[in-house]
Chain A
Amino acid sequence: MADKLTLDIVTPYGHIFTDEVDEIAASGSEGEFGVLPEHASFLTTLRIGMLTYKKGAETGIFFISSGYAEVGPDKVTILADSAERSDDINVERAKAAMKRAEERLKEIEKFDHARATASLERAIMRIQVVEKRTIR
Protein backbone atom coordinates (compact mmCIF):
# COMPACT_ATOMS: atom_id res chain seq x y z
CA MET A 1 0.00 0.00 0.00
CA ALA A 2 1.55 3.16 -1.14
CA ASP A 3 1.47 6.01 1.29
CA LYS A 4 3.31 8.48 -0.90
CA LEU A 5 2.69 9.95 -4.32
CA THR A 6 5.37 10.64 -6.87
CA LEU A 7 4.66 13.99 -8.44
CA ASP A 8 6.26 14.73 -11.79
CA ILE A 9 5.79 18.01 -13.58
CA VAL A 10 7.14 18.13 -17.11
CA THR A 11 6.85 20.86 -19.70
CA PRO A 12 8.33 21.28 -23.16
CA TYR A 13 10.93 23.48 -21.47
CA GLY A 14 12.16 20.88 -19.04
CA HIS A 15 11.47 18.61 -16.15
CA ILE A 16 10.31 21.13 -13.57
CA PHE A 17 9.73 19.05 -10.50
CA THR A 18 9.87 15.51 -9.22
CA ASP A 19 9.48 14.38 -5.64
CA GLU A 20 7.50 12.15 -3.33
CA VAL A 21 4.64 14.04 -1.75
CA ASP A 22 1.65 13.31 0.49
CA GLU A 23 -1.11 15.24 -1.13
CA ILE A 24 -1.81 17.19 -4.31
CA ALA A 25 -4.51 19.63 -5.33
CA ALA A 26 -4.86 20.88 -8.89
CA SER A 27 -7.39 22.58 -11.11
CA GLY A 28 -8.82 20.32 -13.77
CA SER A 29 -11.00 21.55 -16.57
CA GLU A 30 -14.05 20.31 -14.64
CA GLY A 31 -12.99 21.86 -11.37
CA GLU A 32 -10.54 21.51 -8.55
CA PHE A 33 -9.53 18.05 -7.53
CA GLY A 34 -7.39 16.58 -4.80
CA VAL A 35 -5.27 13.49 -4.95
CA LEU A 36 -4.20 11.23 -2.11
CA PRO A 37 -2.29 7.98 -2.46
CA GLU A 38 -4.32 5.05 -3.86
CA HIS A 39 -6.38 7.32 -6.04
CA ALA A 40 -8.21 5.64 -8.94
CA SER A 41 -6.59 5.96 -12.36
CA PHE A 42 -7.70 9.21 -13.77
CA LEU A 43 -6.86 11.37 -16.72
CA THR A 44 -7.96 14.96 -17.06
CA THR A 45 -7.18 18.11 -18.90
CA LEU A 46 -5.97 21.01 -16.80
CA ARG A 47 -7.01 24.58 -17.15
CA ILE A 48 -4.92 27.58 -16.26
CA GLY A 49 -4.65 27.35 -12.52
CA MET A 50 -2.54 26.44 -9.58
CA LEU A 51 -1.24 23.21 -8.25
CA THR A 52 -0.36 22.75 -4.62
CA TYR A 53 1.28 19.84 -2.91
CA LYS A 54 1.94 18.93 0.70
CA LYS A 55 4.93 17.00 1.83
CA GLY A 56 5.04 16.74 5.61
CA ALA A 57 5.02 20.29 6.83
CA GLU A 58 6.25 21.61 3.52
CA THR A 59 3.89 22.94 0.87
CA GLY A 60 4.61 24.10 -2.63
CA ILE A 61 2.61 26.07 -5.15
CA PHE A 62 2.94 25.99 -8.90
CA PHE A 63 1.40 27.99 -11.67
CA ILE A 64 0.20 25.65 -14.40
CA SER A 65 -0.96 26.81 -17.75
CA SER A 66 -3.15 24.28 -19.48
CA GLY A 67 -2.07 20.68 -19.91
CA TYR A 68 -2.92 17.20 -18.74
CA ALA A 69 -2.74 15.28 -15.53
CA GLU A 70 -2.38 11.56 -15.37
CA VAL A 71 -3.16 10.12 -11.96
CA GLY A 72 -2.25 6.60 -10.91
CA PRO A 73 -2.33 4.89 -7.51
CA ASP A 74 1.13 6.11 -6.51
CA LYS A 75 2.03 8.53 -9.25
CA VAL A 76 0.85 11.84 -10.65
CA THR A 77 2.25 13.12 -13.90
CA ILE A 78 1.52 16.65 -15.01
CA LEU A 79 2.12 17.45 -18.66
CA ALA A 80 1.83 21.21 -18.73
CA ASP A 81 2.28 23.67 -21.56
CA SER A 82 4.21 25.66 -19.04
CA ALA A 83 4.66 25.53 -15.29
CA GLU A 84 6.39 27.79 -12.81
CA ARG A 85 7.16 27.42 -9.16
CA SER A 86 5.65 30.31 -7.22
CA ASP A 87 9.12 31.58 -6.31
CA ASP A 88 10.12 31.77 -9.95
CA ILE A 89 7.21 33.86 -11.14
CA ASN A 90 8.09 37.30 -12.31
CA VAL A 91 5.31 39.47 -10.87
CA GLU A 92 6.31 42.55 -12.81
CA ARG A 93 6.10 40.66 -16.05
CA ALA A 94 2.76 39.16 -15.14
CA LYS A 95 1.38 42.59 -14.32
CA ALA A 96 2.64 43.98 -17.59
CA ALA A 97 1.10 41.05 -19.44
CA MET A 98 -2.19 41.67 -17.67
CA LYS A 99 -2.22 45.29 -18.69
CA ARG A 100 -1.37 44.44 -22.28
CA ALA A 101 -4.07 41.80 -22.47
CA GLU A 102 -6.66 44.16 -21.00
CA GLU A 103 -5.83 46.77 -23.59
CA ARG A 104 -6.09 44.25 -26.36
CA LEU A 105 -9.48 43.14 -25.14
CA LYS A 106 -10.73 46.69 -25.51
CA GLU A 107 -9.86 46.71 -29.19
CA ILE A 108 -11.73 43.60 -30.09
CA GLU A 109 -11.57 43.97 -33.82
CA LYS A 110 -7.79 44.30 -33.89
CA PHE A 111 -6.67 41.31 -31.86
CA ASP A 112 -7.57 37.66 -31.45
CA HIS A 113 -10.08 37.67 -28.63
CA ALA A 114 -9.48 34.10 -27.46
CA ARG A 115 -5.76 34.59 -27.26
CA ALA A 116 -6.00 37.83 -25.37
CA THR A 117 -8.45 36.29 -22.91
CA ALA A 118 -6.15 33.33 -22.34
CA SER A 119 -3.17 35.54 -21.78
CA LEU A 120 -5.17 37.70 -19.35
CA GLU A 121 -6.20 34.58 -17.45
CA ARG A 122 -2.64 33.39 -17.26
CA ALA A 123 -1.41 36.72 -15.97
CA ILE A 124 -4.10 36.91 -13.29
CA MET A 125 -3.42 33.37 -12.19
CA ARG A 126 0.31 34.02 -11.93
CA ILE A 127 -0.36 37.00 -9.69
CA GLN A 128 -2.78 34.96 -7.57
CA VAL A 129 -0.22 32.21 -7.14
CA VAL A 130 2.33 34.70 -5.90
CA GLU A 131 -0.18 36.34 -3.57
CA LYS A 132 -1.17 33.01 -2.10
CA ARG A 133 2.45 32.31 -1.33
CA THR A 134 3.03 35.64 0.38
CA ILE A 135 -0.11 35.45 2.53
CA ARG A 136 1.05 32.33 4.25
Chain B
Amino acid sequence: MATLRDIKKRIKAVQNTQKITKAMKMVSAAKLRKVQNRMLDLRPYADKMHDVLMSLAKGADREAHPLLAFRPRKTVEVVVITSDRGLCGAFNTNILKTAQRCIDDYKKESFGVSISTVGKKARDYFKRRGVPMRNSWTGISGNVSFLNAQEIANDIKDNFINETIDEVAIVYNAFKSMASQTVTVAQLLPLAPVEEGKEESAFEVAAAGFIYEPSMTAIFDRLIPRNVDIQIYRALLESSASEEAARMSAMENATKSCNEMVGTLTLQFNKARQASITGELMDIVGGVEALKG
Protein backbone atom coordinates (compact mmCIF):
# COMPACT_ATOMS: atom_id res chain seq x y z
CA MET B 1 0.00 0.00 0.00
CA ALA B 2 1.13 3.50 -0.79
CA THR B 3 2.51 5.36 2.16
CA LEU B 4 1.21 8.73 3.25
CA ARG B 5 4.23 10.45 1.78
CA ASP B 6 3.80 8.81 -1.60
CA ILE B 7 0.20 9.91 -1.83
CA LYS B 8 1.08 13.44 -0.81
CA LYS B 9 3.72 13.58 -3.51
CA ARG B 10 1.26 12.45 -6.13
CA ILE B 11 -1.30 15.05 -5.08
CA LYS B 12 1.34 17.72 -5.43
CA ALA B 13 2.33 16.44 -8.85
CA VAL B 14 -1.25 16.44 -10.10
CA GLN B 15 -1.78 19.94 -8.78
CA ASN B 16 1.29 21.14 -10.63
CA THR B 17 0.00 19.62 -13.84
CA GLN B 18 -3.29 21.33 -13.27
CA LYS B 19 -1.57 24.69 -12.98
CA ILE B 20 0.02 24.11 -16.37
CA THR B 21 -3.16 23.01 -18.10
CA LYS B 22 -5.02 25.96 -16.64
CA ALA B 23 -2.38 28.36 -17.89
CA MET B 24 -2.37 26.77 -21.33
CA LYS B 25 -6.10 27.10 -21.52
CA MET B 26 -5.87 30.78 -20.75
CA VAL B 27 -3.15 31.34 -23.34
CA SER B 28 -5.23 29.54 -25.95
CA ALA B 29 -8.26 31.61 -25.08
CA ALA B 30 -6.31 34.81 -25.69
CA LYS B 31 -4.84 33.55 -28.95
CA LEU B 32 -8.21 32.31 -30.10
CA ARG B 33 -9.80 35.70 -29.59
CA LYS B 34 -7.18 37.35 -31.74
CA VAL B 35 -7.29 34.93 -34.62
CA GLN B 36 -11.05 34.52 -34.43
CA ASN B 37 -11.59 38.21 -34.99
CA ARG B 38 -9.42 38.18 -38.07
CA MET B 39 -11.19 35.13 -39.35
CA LEU B 40 -14.65 36.60 -38.84
CA ASP B 41 -13.55 39.79 -40.59
CA LEU B 42 -12.27 37.87 -43.58
CA ARG B 43 -15.20 35.49 -43.97
CA PRO B 44 -17.67 37.80 -45.72
CA TYR B 45 -14.97 38.93 -48.13
CA ALA B 46 -13.89 35.39 -48.94
CA ASP B 47 -17.48 34.24 -49.37
CA LYS B 48 -18.38 37.16 -51.61
CA MET B 49 -15.32 36.70 -53.72
CA HIS B 50 -16.10 33.05 -54.11
CA ASP B 51 -19.69 33.87 -55.12
CA VAL B 52 -18.61 36.43 -57.68
CA LEU B 53 -16.15 34.01 -59.20
CA MET B 54 -18.67 31.22 -59.25
CA SER B 55 -21.21 33.23 -61.16
CA LEU B 56 -18.48 34.40 -63.50
CA ALA B 57 -16.97 31.00 -64.10
CA LYS B 58 -20.33 29.62 -65.09
CA GLY B 59 -20.70 31.88 -68.07
CA ALA B 60 -17.02 31.87 -68.87
CA ASP B 61 -14.99 29.83 -71.24
CA ARG B 62 -12.79 27.36 -69.38
CA GLU B 63 -9.91 28.37 -71.59
CA ALA B 64 -10.17 31.97 -70.46
CA HIS B 65 -7.61 31.52 -67.72
CA PRO B 66 -5.04 28.80 -67.03
CA LEU B 67 -6.33 28.43 -63.48
CA LEU B 68 -9.80 27.56 -64.77
CA ALA B 69 -8.66 24.68 -66.92
CA PHE B 70 -10.30 21.31 -66.44
CA ARG B 71 -7.74 18.71 -67.39
CA PRO B 72 -7.98 14.94 -67.13
CA ARG B 73 -7.00 14.19 -63.56
CA LYS B 74 -3.57 12.68 -63.70
CA THR B 75 -2.16 14.07 -60.50
CA VAL B 76 -4.25 15.35 -57.66
CA GLU B 77 -2.71 17.54 -55.05
CA VAL B 78 -3.90 17.29 -51.47
CA VAL B 79 -3.02 20.19 -49.22
CA VAL B 80 -3.23 19.15 -45.58
CA ILE B 81 -3.38 21.86 -42.94
CA THR B 82 -2.57 20.90 -39.36
CA SER B 83 -1.00 22.60 -36.38
CA ASP B 84 2.63 22.72 -35.34
CA ARG B 85 1.98 21.88 -31.73
CA GLY B 86 0.13 19.05 -30.11
CA LEU B 87 -1.99 18.97 -26.94
CA CYS B 88 -5.10 19.95 -28.79
CA GLY B 89 -7.24 16.86 -28.54
CA ALA B 90 -8.25 15.06 -31.70
CA PHE B 91 -7.62 18.14 -33.85
CA ASN B 92 -4.75 16.75 -35.87
CA THR B 93 -5.85 13.13 -35.78
CA ASN B 94 -9.17 14.00 -37.41
CA ILE B 95 -7.51 15.96 -40.18
CA LEU B 96 -4.94 13.32 -40.90
CA LYS B 97 -7.53 10.56 -40.93
CA THR B 98 -9.64 12.42 -43.46
CA ALA B 99 -6.61 13.33 -45.54
CA GLN B 100 -5.46 9.72 -45.58
CA ARG B 101 -8.89 8.56 -46.67
CA CYS B 102 -8.89 11.15 -49.44
CA ILE B 103 -5.48 10.04 -50.62
CA ASP B 104 -6.49 6.38 -50.54
CA ASP B 105 -9.61 7.14 -52.55
CA TYR B 106 -7.62 8.95 -55.21
CA LYS B 107 -5.13 6.12 -55.35
CA LYS B 108 -7.91 3.59 -55.75
CA GLU B 109 -8.97 5.46 -58.85
CA SER B 110 -5.32 5.32 -59.86
CA PHE B 111 -4.69 9.05 -59.92
CA GLY B 112 -1.27 10.24 -59.01
CA VAL B 113 -1.32 11.95 -55.63
CA SER B 114 0.98 14.73 -54.58
CA ILE B 115 0.92 15.99 -51.04
CA SER B 116 1.67 19.37 -49.54
CA THR B 117 1.50 19.95 -45.84
CA VAL B 118 1.18 22.92 -43.57
CA GLY B 119 2.18 22.35 -39.95
CA LYS B 120 4.65 20.05 -38.26
CA LYS B 121 2.07 17.43 -37.39
CA ALA B 122 1.15 16.68 -40.99
CA ARG B 123 4.77 16.76 -42.10
CA ASP B 124 5.78 14.28 -39.38
CA TYR B 125 2.83 12.03 -40.15
CA PHE B 126 3.77 11.59 -43.79
CA LYS B 127 7.47 11.44 -43.06
CA ARG B 128 6.91 8.63 -40.59
CA ARG B 129 5.02 6.68 -43.21
CA GLY B 130 7.68 7.34 -45.80
CA VAL B 131 5.24 9.16 -48.07
CA PRO B 132 7.04 11.77 -50.16
CA MET B 133 5.71 15.31 -49.92
CA ARG B 134 5.87 17.84 -52.71
CA ASN B 135 6.26 20.68 -50.31
CA SER B 136 5.76 21.42 -46.64
CA TRP B 137 5.52 24.56 -44.60
CA THR B 138 5.88 24.89 -40.86
CA GLY B 139 5.77 27.68 -38.33
CA ILE B 140 2.60 29.19 -39.76
CA SER B 141 -0.21 28.04 -37.52
CA GLY B 142 0.88 30.25 -34.63
CA ASN B 143 1.02 33.47 -36.61
CA VAL B 144 -0.92 33.35 -39.83
CA SER B 145 -0.26 36.23 -42.16
CA PHE B 146 -1.42 37.02 -45.64
CA LEU B 147 2.17 36.71 -46.83
CA ASN B 148 2.32 33.09 -45.66
CA ALA B 149 -0.87 32.39 -47.53
CA GLN B 150 0.48 34.04 -50.66
CA GLU B 151 3.65 32.00 -50.53
CA ILE B 152 1.69 28.77 -50.38
CA ALA B 153 -0.81 29.95 -52.97
CA ASN B 154 1.91 30.98 -55.40
CA ASP B 155 3.55 27.60 -55.17
CA ILE B 156 0.26 25.85 -55.82
CA LYS B 157 -0.67 28.16 -58.67
CA ASP B 158 2.70 27.69 -60.35
CA ASN B 159 2.47 23.94 -60.17
CA PHE B 160 -1.07 23.97 -61.48
CA ILE B 161 -0.15 26.12 -64.41
CA ASN B 162 2.92 23.94 -65.14
CA GLU B 163 0.53 21.01 -65.21
CA THR B 164 2.50 19.22 -62.50
CA ILE B 165 -0.84 18.93 -60.75
CA ASP B 166 -4.27 18.90 -62.33
CA GLU B 167 -6.52 19.35 -59.36
CA VAL B 168 -6.05 20.73 -55.87
CA ALA B 169 -8.02 19.72 -52.82
CA ILE B 170 -7.49 21.33 -49.46
CA VAL B 171 -8.16 19.60 -46.14
CA TYR B 172 -8.52 21.77 -43.07
CA ASN B 173 -10.52 22.28 -39.90
CA ALA B 174 -13.30 24.80 -40.35
CA PHE B 175 -14.23 26.76 -37.27
CA LYS B 176 -17.90 26.30 -36.42
CA SER B 177 -17.98 27.28 -32.79
CA MET B 178 -15.95 27.06 -29.62
CA ALA B 179 -17.05 23.47 -29.19
CA SER B 180 -17.07 22.20 -32.74
CA GLN B 181 -14.63 22.23 -35.59
CA THR B 182 -15.43 20.28 -38.70
CA VAL B 183 -12.93 18.73 -41.02
CA THR B 184 -13.54 20.21 -44.44
CA VAL B 185 -12.37 19.02 -47.81
CA ALA B 186 -12.67 21.69 -50.45
CA GLN B 187 -11.67 21.76 -54.07
CA LEU B 188 -9.45 24.74 -54.63
CA LEU B 189 -8.50 24.36 -58.29
CA PRO B 190 -9.84 24.27 -60.87
CA LEU B 191 -12.80 26.26 -59.75
CA ALA B 192 -15.50 23.73 -58.99
CA PRO B 193 -18.58 23.98 -61.16
CA VAL B 194 -21.79 24.90 -59.36
CA GLU B 195 -23.62 21.73 -58.34
CA GLU B 196 -26.47 20.91 -60.61
CA GLY B 197 -29.97 21.13 -59.31
CA LYS B 198 -29.02 23.99 -57.04
CA GLU B 199 -31.61 26.72 -57.11
CA GLU B 200 -30.27 29.71 -58.97
CA SER B 201 -31.01 33.12 -57.62
CA ALA B 202 -32.20 35.82 -59.96
CA PHE B 203 -28.88 37.49 -59.45
CA GLU B 204 -26.95 34.50 -60.67
CA VAL B 205 -29.10 34.19 -63.76
CA ALA B 206 -28.52 37.82 -64.52
CA ALA B 207 -24.81 37.15 -64.13
CA ALA B 208 -24.71 35.34 -67.43
CA GLY B 209 -25.03 38.61 -69.34
CA PHE B 210 -22.28 40.47 -67.57
CA ILE B 211 -20.65 43.54 -68.98
CA TYR B 212 -16.96 43.46 -68.19
CA GLU B 213 -14.69 46.38 -67.73
CA PRO B 214 -11.90 46.64 -68.80
CA SER B 215 -12.33 43.11 -70.21
CA MET B 216 -13.15 39.68 -68.98
CA THR B 217 -9.59 38.46 -69.34
CA ALA B 218 -8.21 41.43 -67.45
CA ILE B 219 -10.61 40.79 -64.60
CA PHE B 220 -9.91 37.08 -64.55
CA ASP B 221 -6.19 37.72 -64.52
CA ARG B 222 -6.53 39.63 -61.30
CA LEU B 223 -9.48 37.99 -59.64
CA ILE B 224 -8.71 34.31 -60.02
CA PRO B 225 -5.19 34.28 -58.57
CA ARG B 226 -6.32 36.58 -55.80
CA ASN B 227 -9.16 34.24 -55.00
CA VAL B 228 -6.69 31.38 -54.50
CA ASP B 229 -4.66 33.55 -52.11
CA ILE B 230 -7.75 34.50 -50.18
CA GLN B 231 -9.17 30.99 -49.95
CA ILE B 232 -5.86 29.68 -48.62
CA TYR B 233 -5.55 32.57 -46.21
CA ARG B 234 -9.02 31.78 -45.00
CA ALA B 235 -8.26 28.08 -44.57
CA LEU B 236 -5.15 28.95 -42.56
CA LEU B 237 -7.07 31.30 -40.30
CA GLU B 238 -9.91 28.84 -39.80
CA SER B 239 -7.44 26.11 -39.00
CA SER B 240 -5.57 28.31 -36.57
CA ALA B 241 -8.75 29.34 -34.78
CA SER B 242 -9.93 25.74 -34.65
CA GLU B 243 -6.59 24.69 -33.23
CA GLU B 244 -6.80 27.15 -30.37
CA ALA B 245 -10.42 26.23 -29.69
CA ALA B 246 -9.56 22.54 -29.70
CA ARG B 247 -6.64 23.16 -27.38
CA MET B 248 -8.84 25.19 -25.08
CA SER B 249 -11.36 22.42 -24.66
CA ALA B 250 -8.64 19.79 -24.35
CA MET B 251 -7.01 21.79 -21.56
CA GLU B 252 -10.36 22.41 -19.94
CA ASN B 253 -10.94 18.66 -19.83
CA ALA B 254 -7.46 18.05 -18.50
CA THR B 255 -8.01 20.57 -15.73
CA LYS B 256 -11.26 18.86 -14.82
CA SER B 257 -9.61 15.44 -14.75
CA CYS B 258 -6.93 16.86 -12.49
CA ASN B 259 -9.59 18.03 -10.08
CA GLU B 260 -11.15 14.59 -10.03
CA MET B 261 -7.82 12.95 -9.49
CA VAL B 262 -6.93 15.26 -6.62
CA GLY B 263 -10.30 14.33 -5.08
CA THR B 264 -9.70 10.59 -5.27
CA LEU B 265 -6.15 10.94 -4.05
CA THR B 266 -7.22 13.10 -1.10
CA LEU B 267 -9.76 10.46 -0.14
CA GLN B 268 -7.06 7.83 -0.32
CA PHE B 269 -4.76 10.01 1.71
CA ASN B 270 -7.35 10.51 4.43
CA LYS B 271 -8.12 6.81 4.58
CA ALA B 272 -4.44 6.00 4.93
CA ARG B 273 -4.01 8.67 7.60
CA GLN B 274 -6.99 7.29 9.52
CA ALA B 275 -5.60 3.77 9.24
CA SER B 276 -2.20 4.83 10.57
CA ILE B 277 -3.75 6.70 13.53
CA THR B 278 -5.86 3.67 14.36
CA GLY B 279 -2.76 1.53 14.13
CA GLU B 280 -0.83 3.80 16.46
CA LEU B 281 -3.72 3.87 18.96
CA MET B 282 -3.84 0.09 18.97
CA ASP B 283 -0.13 0.02 19.68
CA ILE B 284 -0.48 2.43 22.62
CA VAL B 285 -3.46 0.57 24.05
CA GLY B 286 -1.61 -2.67 23.61
CA GLY B 287 1.45 -1.21 25.38
CA VAL B 288 -0.62 0.04 28.29
CA GLU B 289 -2.30 -3.34 28.65
CA ALA B 290 1.10 -4.98 28.67
CA LEU B 291 2.41 -2.66 31.42
CA LYS B 292 -0.64 -3.41 33.57
CA GLY B 293 -0.15 -7.11 33.22
Q: Which of B48, B203, B212 contacts A10 (CB 8 A)?
A: B48
Pick out which of these stretches binds chain A: B106-114, B122-130, B214-222, B261-269.
B214-222
The size bracket of the interface on A is 20 to 34
Q: Which of B48, B146, B211, B213 contacts A45 (CB 8 A)?
A: B213
A124 to chain B: closest CB distance in Å?
Answer: 23
State whether B223 touches A42 (Cβ < 8 A).
no
Q: Which of B38-71 contact A (CB under 8 A)?
A: 40-42, 44-45, 48-49, 52, 56
State whether B41 touches A77 (Cβ < 8 A).
no
| Closest A residue by C-beta to B204 | A72
Q: A11-B45, A41-B206 known; A77 and B52 CB under 8 Å?
A: yes
Q: How far is the CA of A79 from the CA of B222 in the complex (A)?
A: 12
Measured between beta carbons, the chain A residues less than 8 angstroms from B41 are 12-15
Measured between beta carbons, the chain A residues less than 8 angstroms from B219 are 43-45, 68
Main secondary structure of the interface of A (DSSP, over half): strand
Measured between beta carbons, the chain A residues less than 8 angstroms from B209 are 40-41
Q: How far is the CA of A12 from the CA of B223 in the complex (A)?
A: 14
Q: Which of A14, A43, A73, A77 contacts B211 (CB 8 A)?
A: A43
B204 to chain A: closest CB distance in Å?
Answer: 9
State whether A41 touches B207 (Cβ < 8 A).
yes
State whether A12 touches B206 (Cβ < 8 A).
no
Asked if A107 CB lies within 8 Å of chain B CBs, one says no
Measured between beta carbons, the chain A residues less than 8 angstroms from B44 are 10, 14-15
Mark each residue of chain A from 42 to 86: 1 if its CB lies under 8 Å from any CB of chain B, else 0. 111100000000000000000000001010110101010000000
Q: Which of B49, B206, B212 contacts A79 (CB 8 A)?
A: B49
B210 to chain A: closest CB distance in Å?
Answer: 5
State whether B45 touches A28 (Cβ < 8 A).
no
Q: A12-B41, A45-B218 known; A79 and B210 CB under 8 Å?
A: no
A3 to chain B: closest CB distance in Å?
Answer: 16
Main secondary structure of the interface of B (DSSP, over half): helix
Measured between beta carbons, the chain B residues less than 8 angstroms from A72 are 203, 206-207
Measured between beta carbons, the chain B residues less than 8 angstroms from A15 are 41, 44-45
State whether B213 touches A68 (Cβ < 8 A).
no
Mark each residue of chain A from 1 to 42: 1 if its CB lies under 8 Å from any CB of chain B, else 0. 000000010111111000000000000111000000000111
B225 to chain A: closest CB distance in Å?
Answer: 13
B196 to chain A: closest CB distance in Å?
Answer: 22
Q: Which of B146, B203, B210, B230 contacts A43 (CB 8 A)?
A: B210
State whether A41 touches B45 (Cβ < 8 A).
no
| Closest B residue by C-beta to A68 | B223
Q: How far is the CA of A42 from the CA of B42 in the complex (A)?
A: 24
State whether A10 touches B45 (Cβ < 8 A).
yes
| Closest A residue by C-beta to B49 | A79
Q: How far is the CA of A10 from the CA of B41 in the complex (A)?
A: 9
| Closest A residue by C-beta to B212 | A43
State whether B211 touches A8 (Cβ < 8 A).
no
State whether A43 touches B213 (Cβ < 8 A).
yes
Q: Pick the 5 closest A-B CB pairs, nearest first.
A: A14-B41, A44-B213, A10-B45, A15-B44, A42-B211
Contact sample, A vs B, 9 pairs, CB 8 Å cutoff: A12-B41, A12-B230, A14-B40, A14-B45, A41-B207, A42-B211, A42-B212, A43-B219, A68-B52
Interface of A toward B, CB cutoff 8 Å:
8, 10-15, 28-30, 40-45, 68, 70, 72-73, 75, 77, 79
